[in-house]
Amino acid sequence: MSLIVSPRVVKLTTRTEVDIKRNLPHQTLRRIGAWVFLDHFGPTKQVDGMVVAAHPHSGLQTVTWPFAGMVEHRDSTGVVQMLRPGQLNLMTAGSGISHSEQSQVGTDSLHAAQLWIALPDSVRHMAAEFEHLSDLPVLHLDGGSVATVFIGTLGRVSSPAKVFTPLVGAELQIKGSLELPLDASFEHGILAVNGNLFVNGHRLETDQLIYLEPGERAVVTSETGATALLIGGEPFDEKLVMWWNFIGRDHDEIVAWRESWNAASVEWPAFVDEIGGRIPAPELPNVRMRPRL
Ligand code: MN
């Protein structure tokens, strides 16, 4: 059974109020494999639209994939990294990292996706790591379509990016009609980024995502050319508490991270950037958060 998800529009916590389209998590779809979060923003002429001051993450990996524009990443491990289209920033938060992101003036458009991958329990307390990958493998598909594989494996092609569960993440440039070489043990999502796109005969509007169960095939069609994002993975069956920028396993763990971040404890080393300041964690909900699938 396939399901089409239209995004919620949320304001990014930035100083310029860019609209974010959020397809995951969604009321009808919590995750796809270990992909638990999918934000898509732009294209916008507001090239200075992403100015996110220092904030923490734990228990997850962030994947930043720009289609247009440039974003500078800085983090508490000392990394300063410019990110351009066709390149991947992969930040493994493990037990904790803080970072900031600032889009750069000098391009004429800003357009990007940011995703989170939940870390499995076996590795989620690892030390933080950061990878920048600018030379990613490309899979040539029927009829001139291409896939740039930034996470995991698609067909015969694998990204060198370090992930901890079986996954795929790829940018698709689709021309004509073809069947994607999907792993039948994975569930998948295909996000329409731009252009006229059909998946298995369903027309997808820009920013809509179609969910495909394990074993479902994907025939993608675009008469005029389309860009899409493919994500997928083995169903991930660990119960999670996702709150703000943290992914934990119970309420108390989240409370402890929140308190130590807001107290600027030594677990979160400060770093210098051009934005300045740090984003405090919001108030907790009034109820105990329960782990859920
Ligand atoms: Mn972040």
0.75 exceeded by pTM: yes
Q: What's the gap in Å between 129 CA and the centre of ligand 1? A: 14
Q: What is the pLDDT of residue 148?
A: 98
Q: What is the pLDDT of residue 14?
A: 56
Percent share of the chain, pLDDT over 70: 98
Q: What's the gap in Å between 52 CA and the centre of ligand 1? A: 8
Range name among 102-106, 175-179, 187-191, 221-225 with the lowest pLDDT average: 102-106
CB distance 151 to 178 below 8 Å: no
Average pLDDT over residues 133-153: 97
Q: What is the pLDDT of residue 22?
A: 95
CB distance 172 to 210 below 8 Å: no
Q: What's the gap in Å between 97 CA and the centre of ligand 1? A: 9
CB distance 187 to 213 below 8 Å: yes
Average pLDDT over residues 63-80: 96
Q: What's the gap in Å between 116 CA and the centre of ligand 1? A: 9
Q: What are phi and psi of 257, to 5 degrees?
A: -65, -45
Q: What's the gap in Å between 9 CA and the centre of ligand 1? A: 18
Q: What's the gap in Å between 88 CA and the centre of ligand 1? A: 14
pLDDT tops 80 at residue 15? no
pLDDT tops 70 at residue 16? no
Q: What is the pLDDT of residue 69?
A: 94
Q: What is the pLDDT of residue 1?
A: 65
Average pLDDT over residues 257-280: 95
Q: What's the gap in Å between 223 CA and the centre of ligand 1? A: 36
Q: Where are the domains of the chain?
A: 3-233
Q: 22-27: which pairs have CB atoms within 8 A and are 24 or more residues apart?
A: 23/189, 23/191, 23/207, 23/208, 23/209, 24/115, 24/189, 24/209, 25/242
Q: Domain 3-233, CATH 3.40.50.720 — does that match?
A: no
pLDDT tops 70 at residue 32? yes
Q: What's the gap in Å between 44 CA and the centre of ligand 1? A: 20
Q: What's the gap in Å between 130 CA and the centre of ligand 1? A: 13
Q: What's the gap in Å between 92 CA and the centre of ligand 1? A: 11
Q: What is the pLDDT of residue 45?
A: 85
Average pLDDT over residues 136-165: 97
pLDDT tops 90 at residue 105? no
Q: What's the gap in Å between 213 CA and the centre of ligand 1? A: 29
User: Which is more confidently placed, 261 or 12?
Assistant: 261
